[in-house]
Amino acid sequence: MIKVADFHRGDVVVFKDPGNWLGNETSGTSNPVRQVAEFLGVAPSSATDHLVKRVVGMPGDHVACCTAQGQITVNGQPLDEASYLYSVNGVSVHPSDLSFDVVVPAGHIFVLGDHRNDSRDSPLPPV
């Protein structure tokens, strides 16, 4: 979960890794010329410490996974993710490999990647 700005459910957000979700996968280029160019702002950053996620839950939302049909619910309503959830050979990946049942705290949002089988998402509070 990250702090809320002016987001809405379904928005795609890009943000710096807030809590080491990526682990040690945040290295950029080792090329010294490229590092200087990035520092000077004449080349885009090669660092991989930013995440691209979709807003699934807003403050106060009850987000849970998964229904018998394999869907995430938000406030008891199944979330239709067919238009953006990554698919393999025309079959959408499972919305989550973990079961969860959380209420999004005030001042935060709950985010998930569209490519769930290769994604680091909102950390879940201990059960």
Span 77-106, pLDDT tens digits: 998 888 888 787 877 777 777 788 999 998
Three-class SS state of 97: coil
pTM over 0.85: no
Three-class SS state of 117: helix
Please tell me the predicted confidence (pLDDT) of residue 26.
45
Please tell me the predicted confidence (pLDDT) of residue 62.
96
Neighbouring-strand partners of residue 36: none
The contacts of residue 62 (CB under 8 Å, 6+ apart) are 73, 74, 75, 76, 101, 102, 103
2-118: CATH topology: Umud Fragment, subunit A (2.10.109)
Span 3-35, pLDDT tens digits: 555 888 888 888 777 666 666 554 555 677 766
Specify whether the backbone of 100 is left (phi greater than 0), alpha (psi in -120 to 50) or beta: beta
Please tell me the predicted confidence (pLDDT) of residue 59.
92
The contacts of residue 81 (CB under 8 Å, 6+ apart) are 71, 72, 92, 95
Smallest CA-to-CA distance from 85 within 65, 107, 58 is with 65
Span 38-67, pLDDT tens digits: 566 665 555 566 778 889 999 999 999 887
Amino acid making up residue 27: S
